[in-house]
Structure 1
Amino acid sequence: MKNLSNIDSLVEQIGNRIIQQHEEKPSDISYLELSYLFEQIDKKNKAIYVLQEGIQEHPTSISLHRALWSLYTKQNNQKEKIKHVPRVLKNCIQKKPIKFFERLQEVLLQNHQFELSLAITQMQLQKQPTDVVLLNKAIQRALSVTHYKEAIIYLETLKKETTDINQLVRINMKIGMVHMLNGEFAKGEKQFTYCMEKYGDLLPEIYNDGYEKLVIFNNGESSIEYYKSIHSTKRVVATFDSIDKTNKSKPFAFGILKKKSVDLISLRRRTVDNYHQDLSREEYYRTIEKLIPFYEKRFAYGTSLGGYCALYFGATIPECKILALAPRNSAHPNYGSKIRGNSKFTHSLSHPINTEIKPIICYDPKERIDQRYITKEIKKSYPNADFKHFYYAGHRVPLYLQQIGVLKDLVSRFLAEEPIPEYSSKLHNKSAEYHRILAIACKRHLKYKWALDLVNKSVELAPTYDRSLALRIEVLLNLKQYDECIEYAKEAIKLHPSLAKFYILLSDAYVAKGDIDLAIEVLESAKQSIKSKKIKNKLASLKEQMQLV
């Protein structure tokens, strides 16, 4: 049953039967099927929640009780068995809201069953046609399957149910945006003109950043957001988030781009361990295909994972100028990170060869993984690319560029389609990252005193930068200056009390001094407030070491 095609088939079967039987309240069979589905995809806790809710709604269903009892047995969970009868009685008296449809929608979206997801939402709307929450979900799901006219109908219904002036403005802006997505540019611009004329004084107050946002695609993990400027523009930038960003924050480079009179199309992700393997190039472009012709100037921009995506997805946009900084996808089986090596990689191992575009690719040739990936893959896929070298910038190229004071200039020149200059090497002295990366290179070649001088300069330039603080302690350990290690580690813990690496480095210093007991004490204390596998593993290793002594 764990075969992907079988899972897809089961998801479709559940959704279709619910629609055919018009289950406004899920039947016990539906609960059993959804629970079984979660069990097959190794989400047993969700399978249990589904069954618990099912029993709340169908307390006399022997099948549901048997299935839940079986799951408890598989998990060897005696406590839950004991709680079972009291929980059933309590839930029958104090019923909780049904979350069945939310959980079903989660599975439908992740399996790209967008039409079925919309159909179930439509079924729910038949009973509650003015429910604001359902209307908003219907809008999102209609957009995900490019049913733009249907999305506008839902927006118009939502508008009738809204009395708040700010919400009315936002809904009117979104109606214009959906027209744009459908290629109806005259209607879209007419709607924006209406908003400007009727609500002109309110727009700057409602939109502090100058943008209305609309989620135009969402499969539960990856999403695409359309940001429409309240000011007229014929330029659009497709942005792609870096490895540490999720959709809880603003899109990549939002602070710079919002001042550049551009609209944005931003690929986002729900969690930091999503590498957009759930999204194809075809799905990405299908979402924006009708919108793109409106824009006279088109750009794509990203760094690291975002740099990879700017090339992989951005290259689908006709006549698009691309700026990719240190492009790399950590899930790639050949050029990814060992930590993330188990992530499933569904994209092509090599980007399609594209001789039509001339992307600008900025990277550090001294960064081993980036250099190997760009030399063996990217240069072959984009033979006309313009490669800009920033030696000892490391993988975090935007940080380096920001520190030397040229990031805004580089982005401005890119958007103005001006050549990117060779920036003065004297600017290196301003960058903490440059000194840190160079210190790492010296440490690798056992030049510890040089490394210490360089990392001290890095800390001087950025006194709270955790990576430089950690590197300084590591170099001092190599130099056997343990007292200084301990002093600096304690200072770093005060600055970054939630970072496990400084507790581990402090314990390493104590071990190097021959005081394993104190090292264990440090880690035991840290374990109370920090959830870290590294701390647990280190602690276990030290305790094992103590037993061998």
Structure 2
Amino acid sequence: MKKLSHTKDLAEQLANQVVQQKENIPNKESYLLLAKYYEEAEETTNAMVILQEALQEYPMSMTLHHVLWTFYAKHHIQNGRSRHIPRTIKKLFDKKPNQFFELLQRVFLKNDQYEVSLALLKIELQTKPHEIDLLYKIIQQSLKFCHFEETIPYFETLKKLEKDDKNLVKLHMKLGMVHMVAGHFEEAEKQFLYCREKYADLLPEIYKENYEKLVIFNNGESSIEFYKSIYPTKKFVATFDAIDKTETGKPFAYKLLKKQDVDLISLRRRTLNNYHQDITREDYYQAIEKLVPYYDKRFAYGTSLGGYNALFLGSTIPDCKILSMAPRNPAHPIYGTKERKYNKFLHPLSHPVNTEIQPIICYDPKERIDQPYISKEIKRSYPNGIYKEFDYAGHRVPTYLREIGALKEIVTLFLNGKPIPDYDRRLHRKSAEYHRVLGLHCRRHNKLRWALDLANRSIELAPKYDRSLALRIEVLQKLGRYDEAIHYTDEAIEIHPDLARFYLLLADSYVGKGDPTKAKKVLESANKKLKSKKIREKIAQLKVQD
């Protein structure tokens, strides 16, 4: 369907005509307006269906007869006129289901008129109060707008009409969650208990990962997802996604936490370039405020951008224990990375000073971006924090901890309120990330042979790790060993054919060898497949240098 400016005007007229006037039976003008919308959107078949249906409802209307007759002629619909009267008479005796509201819904959804769409569903429900599909649509649409209290009567009606046991299980679980978000904990417990007693065998079959999900906040860019365990628990973990995650995947630490007997309240983002500047501390806590009193134990956990938010937003939760790893917001104008140039930073530059909590903060004191931020800002804002240092873990602290076999233990100890020990430093021998990060430090100080040895050791521990593969190539280039660099880059491209980084490194090696023509060919070939901005910029740079 074409989304034209004029059709948007028609959609607004339809909203006013049908929804605001609460037409549960469309009048002739509404039929004509909807037909005009579809005709202007070049959906002739739908326009014709609407006009034919209008005559089914108003067979004596000469206006409708004239409009449909003209429509057939205008669009060269063969046999339209000759079959017009017989079809009209037939439909009087053989009425088909009304499609007006279904086609009108498409108009509103196409034009992003979601509130109007919901209002239309409610009007339609007046004439079909027991239609199951319609009730499901109303619930789904209402939950999108976080109209939780409003959905409860619809859930109750559906429970009486639904016959399928699996659907009933999901209805009871979802209704229990809606009651929780609304602060009705006794009613919520009734729904969960009923599920556990009546459908004990079905629950694990339906919920393979043990969670039902409900979105409890959405401003279009940031959202909060509530994951309720099918098993009773009075613990929740507020999780915050890292820099490489969006709402299309599972929340941060999902695989680890789903085995820990906890519910999840997860802050998500729609796009990778959203640094949650669209959500304030007040917005966040207001969205979860009614849920919080249900739980006896409350935790917040995140790394990188998520570590920043575990502190900044998680500290709004009363009596909340916080585990933050390498906290950093890349958009911070002082302590951020390159993203700070392109994004407005709307949060306070410093976190509020909080002397009441003892967050656990794990970081690498050698990391040149994290270290100044933590020492100058985070330690000032959280003076009673417990700061756990892991030399040469780099910014990806959870990766390092997982490689030395400590991550799961640390999270488990944290969730059980037990102190995190100091780990034997010799464990770093197991970590590819440790060797890569130490290699980066050596390269930075021009200790290139050490850097190469460390990159090779990192690759031995994690043969496909792209960052270690890139480090080895970069060190070889610095050493002037371009043939080896080309060999290892070719190998890396076989492993990671969609990473532009390796094609750029390959081009650099050819330039280093004095063969810019070969470098351009490599990049032009890669650009046909990858469509990379960085590759295009490099090609332009090489052409200028010719």
The TM-score by the shorter chain falls in which range?
Answer: 0.7 to 0.9
Does the CA-based 8 Å contact 1:144-1:287 persist in structure 2? Answer: no
CA offsets per residue over residues 33-79 of structure 1, 9 Å max, x none? xxxxxxxxxxxxxxxxxx99965489xxxxxxxxxxxxxxxxxxxxx
- 1:412 — aligned with what? 412
- Per-residue CA deviation, residues 183-205 of structure 1 (Å, 9 max, x unaligned), is 22111111111111111111111
SS of the residue corresponding to residue 357 of structure 1 reads coil
Taking the TM superposition and a 5 Å limit, the aligned residue runs for 1:152-301 are 152-159=152-159, 162-301=162-301
- In the TM superposition, residue 234 of structure 1 has moved relative to its aligned partner by 0.9
What is the CA-CA distance between 1:353 and the residue it aligns to? 1.7
In 2: Cα distance, 1:462 partner to 1:295 partner: 40
Structure 2 CA distance for aligned equivalents of residues 14 and 344 of structure 1 = 38
Counterparts of 1:232 and 1:383, CA distance in 2: 36
SS at match of 1:436: helix
Query: Post-superposition shift, 1:214?
Result: 1.1
1:102 to 109, 134, 144: 109
Task: Tell me how far 1:126 sits from its aligned partner.
Answer: 1.3
Q: What is the deviation of 1:431?
A: 0.5
* Matched ranges for 1:492-511 at <5 A: 492-511=492-511
Aligned counterparts, 1:475-514, within 5 A: 475-514=475-514
Residue 149 of structure 1, CA deviation: 2.3
1:110-169 superposed Cα distances (whole Å, 9 cap, x missing partner): xxxxxxx65652344312567878756654664576643212123334445644432221
Whether the aligned pair in 2 keeps the contact of 1:393 and 1:434 (CA below 8 Å) is yes
Distance in 2 (alpha carbons) for counterparts of 1:407 and 1:508: 38
Of 471-480 and 141-150, the range deviating more from structure 2: 141-150
Q: Do structure 1's residue 462 and structure 2's residue 459 form an aligned pair?
A: no
> Is this contact kept in 1: 2:105–2:117, CA < 8 A?
no
Q: C-alpha offsets along residues 367-404 of structure 1, whole Å, 9 cap, x if unaligned?
A: 11111211222112211111111111111000000001
CA RMSD of aligned residues (A): 3.1
Query: CA, structure 1 residues 119+103, in 2 after alignment: closer, same or farther (shift >3 Å)?
Result: closer
Given that residues 361 and 388 in structure 1 are in contact (C-alpha distance below 8 angstroms), is that contact kept between their aligned partners in structure 2? yes
In 1, Cα distance between equivalents of 2:122 and 2:270: 27
Q: Helix, strand or coil: the match of 2:539?
A: helix
**Counterpart contact for 2:108–2:116, Cα < 8 Å:** no
Q: Give deviations 1:499-522, integer Å, cap 9, x for gaps.
A: 001011011111110111111111
Amino acid at match of 1:126: I
Change (3 A) 1:455 1:261: same
Structure 1 residues 498 and 399, CA gap change in structure 2 (3 angstroms):
same
Whole-angstrom CA distance in 1 between matches of 2:23 and 2:170: 33
Looking at structure 1, the residues matched to 427 and 487 of structure 2 have their Cα atoms a distance apart, in angstroms, of 32
Matched, 1:148 2:155: no
Cα contact 1:15–1:120 (8 A) shared by 2: no
For 1:418, what is the secondary structure of its paired residue?
A: coil
| CA 1:524–1:292: 2 relative to 1, 3 Å | same
C-alpha distance in 1, partners of 2:192/2:312? Answer: 32
Distance 1:289 1:138 in 2: 25
Q: Which amino acid aligns with 2:427?
A: L
Q: Residue 519 and residue 308 in structure 1: after superposition, are their counterparts in 2 closer, same or farther (change >3 A)? A: same
Pick aligned residue for 2:124 from 116, 124, 127? 127
| 2: CA distance, partners of 1:97 / 1:482 | 65
Number of residue pairs matched?
470
Contact 1:442 1:448 in 2 (8 A): yes
Give the SS at the match of 2:300: strand
| 1:522-545 deviation line (CA, Å, top 9, x unaligned) | 111101110210111111111221
- Contact residue 121 and residue 138 of structure 2 kept, 8 A: no
Quick one: distance in 1 between partners of 2:350 and 2:508?
Answer: 41
Q: Which has the larger radius of gyration?
A: 2
Residue 313 (structure 1) aligned with residue 313 (structure 2): yes
Give the secondary-structure state (helix, strand or coil) at the position aligned to 1:367. coil
Aligned equivalent of 2:337: 337
Q: Which runs of 5+ in 1 are unaligned?
A: 1-12, 26-50, 59-87, 109-116
What secondary structure, in the 3-state scheme, does the structure 2 residue paired with 1:413 have?
A: helix
| Residue pair 2:333, 2:340 contacting (<8 A) in 1 also | no
- Secondary structure, in 3 states, of the residue corresponding to 2:315? helix
1:358 Cα shift? 0.9
Stretch moving more, 152-161 or 497-506 = 152-161
Query: 1:340: how far off?
Result: 5.1
Identity of aligned residues (%): 59
> CA 1:16–1:320 in structure 2 vs 1: closer, same or farther (change >3 Å)?
farther
SS of the equivalent of 2:154 reads helix
**Residue-by-residue CA offset, 1:77-109 (whole Å, 9 max, x unaligned):** xxxxxxxxxxx989xx9x99875533654xx8x
Q: What are the within-5 Å matches in structure 2 for residues 515-534 of structure 1?
A: 515-534=515-534
Identify if the C-alpha distance between structure 1 residues 393 and 181 changes in structure 2 by more than 3 Å, giving closer, same or farther: same
Which stretch shifts more, 426-435 or 338-347? 338-347
What residue number does 2:396 align with? 396
Distance (Å, rounded) in 1 between the aligned partners of 2:121 and 2:288: 28
Partner of 1:329, secondary structure, is coil
Query: Which deviates further from its counterpart, 235-244 or 143-152?
Result: 143-152
2:360 is aligned with 1:363: no
Partner of 2:544: 544
Distance in 2, matches of 1:330 and 1:52, equals: 46
Distance 2:483 2:159 in 1: 67
Change (3 A) 1:422 1:360: same
**Alpha-carbon distance in 1 for matches of 2:439, 2:133:** 54
How far apart, CA to CA, are the structure 2 residues paired with 1:53 and 1:214? 39
Amino acid at match of 2:315: A
Using the alignment, how far apart are the partners of 1:89 and 1:417 within structure 2? 73
CA change 1:287–1:158 in 2 (3 A) is: farther
Alignment partners' CA distance in 1, 2:457 and 2:329: 31
Secondary structure at the counterpart of residue 369 of structure 2: helix
Q: Which amino acid aligns with 1:207?
A: Y
Letter in 1 for 2:220: G
Give the AA of the match of 2:316: T
Q: In structure 2, what is the Cα distance between the partners aligned to 1:53 and 1:210?
A: 48
Report the TM-score when normalising by structure 2.
0.79
Q: Aligned with 1:368: secondary structure?
A: coil
Mark the CA change 1:145 to 1:493 in structure 2 (over 3 Å): closer, same or farther.
Answer: closer
- Alignment check: 8 A CA contact 2:364 2:390 kept: yes
Give 1:304's aligned residue: 304
State whether residues 280 and 347 of structure 1, in contact with CA within 8 Å, keep that contact through their aligned partners in structure 2.
Answer: yes
Distance in 1 between the 2:473 and 2:213 partners? 45
Aligned runs of 1:416-431 on 2, under 5 Å? 416-431=416-431
Distance 1:132 1:475, change over 3 A: farther
The alpha-carbon deviation at position 14 of structure 1 amounts to 11
Going from structure 1 to structure 2, the CA distance change for 1:251 and 1:23 (only over 3 Å counts) comes to farther
Deviations 1:248-269 (CA, angstroms, capped at 9, x unpaired): 2111111111111111111111
Counterparts of 2:431 and 2:410, CA distance in 1? 16
